[in-house]
């Protein structure tokens, strides 16, 4: 793992910028409503387990292996 998930915190919003996987994996993300430029909210992060994200009105659990294949950037709405 490259440690990207360690940069995430509960409550963060992340913007999807791409996928590091093949067609089948990309389709799995798309079935969850995860496309390029979609904003996800981090609901829960398990220390050695999955991450729960909110996509629009739905919540999904994404395992660490799948999370590694998601290209994203953390965006913060905190203006300080």
For tokens 């791409």, name the residue. 18
DSSP 32: T
So what's the pLDDT on residue 78? 52
Domains and CATH numbers, the chain: 4-70 (2.30.30.90)
What distances in angstroms separate CA 34 from CA 30, 48, 67, 75, one per listed residue? 5, 23, 12, 16
For tokens 């996987």, name the residue. 21
Residue 44: enclosing H or E segment and its boundaries?
strand 39-45
- Rounded to whole angstroms, the Cα distance separating 34 from 32 reads 6
Structure confidence by residue, pLDDT tens digits, 34-61: 999 999 999 999 988 899 999 999 999 9
């Amino acid at each position: 793992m490259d440690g990207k998930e360690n940069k995430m915190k509960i409550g963060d919003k992340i913007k999807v910028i791409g996928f590091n996987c093949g067609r089948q994996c990309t389709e799995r993300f798309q079935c969850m409503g995860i496309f390029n430029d979609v904003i996800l909210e981090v609901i829960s992060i398990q220390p050695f387990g999955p991450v729960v994200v909110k996509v629009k009105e739905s919540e999904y659990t994404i395992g660490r292996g799948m999370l590694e294949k998601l290209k994203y950037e953390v965006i913060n709405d905190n203006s300080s």
